[in-house]
Amino acid sequence: MAIRKRHLLIGIAALPVAAVVFAWLGIFNVAATGGHWQITNWFLHFAMRSSVRTYALGVKVPPRDISLLQPAAGHFAQGCAFCHGAPGVPPSPAALAMLPTPPNLSGVIGEWTDAQLFRIVRHGVRYTGMPAWPAPERTDEVWAMVAFLRELPSLDARKYHELAEGSAKAATAQETGFDAALAGCARCHGSDGIGRGEGVPILAGQSSVYLRASLEAYAKRKRPSGMMEVAVEQAGGGTFEALAKHYAAQPRPSRAPLAADPALVGRGKEIAERGVPGDGVPACLGCHGGTRKNPAYPNLAGQKRSYLENQLRLFVGGKRGGTAYAHIMAKAVKNLSETDIKSVAGYLASME
């Protein structure tokens, strides 16, 4: 007997009701011990790859910058290796019980383009436990993670540990509070506060007022940084004062300035000492120089050039703030050009 159109429509309309009844009866097994049907696994993976491929089409890949490679490795050790493992570091047994099981990234990175990796790191993947980047506006950090992921397949256990941990002493199970927090900070900043990469700031000798305010800004998510938000969460607010005092007490290093174009440095000296009056840019050293400056202002003399450039770009782009005086800085630098940024960063980095 032929199926009438009316009967077909009734059957289609009844499908949602049947699905609700099926779910209500509890027959569908949601236990993680069982996993999905193979067809479901295939479909979800197919949909994920297709989505990433499509949304990555609009991603413009910048030139690779390795100034944040070390903190990216440190973040991976702190926030990613638990699930994915790392060279010489097995994933947690809890992660191995997840469905789907987080992949060993060294073996699958080559399957993705840089744009696709950027899409995955920044936005995460639904139904897998892969979270979005905590501060999606910090695309510089996301690209740093992409750069690290490209390096990952070439790292053995020794090279990975050297890049991600250096000489930092891992916290033991018996260590809590300040000792554990300092061990986490030292992964990127070193216990001496000099910093283990050109994109990591020199904390040694900065005022404890400034350092404490910065930690609070990250903890309250008023200064976006996926790397620092995770770090301060693990350190805990009760350690901020002690950490700030520790790094403030460290001696500032004597650093040989990086080679720079003399013309750019000359322009930077002019901006630092006199500003750019026509563009409303005040002299940098009016606030950041001398011995009588506000302790809430950081000392920029001798700071790392790559770090200064990046922070100035963040201020210009409205992506850095969170402290009581950040709005002053945002207004002061909003008219700086990229050439001005490179110039003043080069000059400040060359100062004693």
Neighbouring residues of 262: CB distance < 8 A, sequence distance ≥ 6? none
On whether the CB atoms of residues 48 and 120 are closer than 8 A, the answer is no
pLDDT score of 153: 97
**Which is it for the CA torsion 187, 189, 195, 200, positive or negative?**
positive
Q: Which domains does the chain have, with CATH numbers?
A: 64-164 (1.10.760.10), 177-248 (1.10.760.10), 262-350 (1.10.760.10)
Both structure tokens of 58: 């609009």
> pLDDT tens-digit profile of 92-111?
999 999 988 999 999 999 99
Average pLDDT over residues 299-320: 94
Estimate the crossing angle of helix 114-123 against helix 38-55, to 10 degrees.
Answer: 110
- Nearest-CA neighbor of 348 among 201, 139, 186, 185? 201
Is a pLDDT exceeding 60 seen at residue 174? no
Is a pLDDT exceeding 90 seen at residue 285? yes
Q: How many CB atoms lie within 10 A of CB 327?
A: 10
Burial of 69 (0-12, 13-18, 19+ CB in 10 A): buried
On whether the CB atoms of residues 91 and 85 are closer than 8 A, the answer is yes
Is a pLDDT exceeding 50 seen at residue 1? no
> pLDDT tens-digit profile of 52-83?
999 999 999 999 999 999 999 999 999 999 99
> pLDDT tens-digit profile of 329-345?
999 999 999 999 999 99
pLDDT score of 178: 93
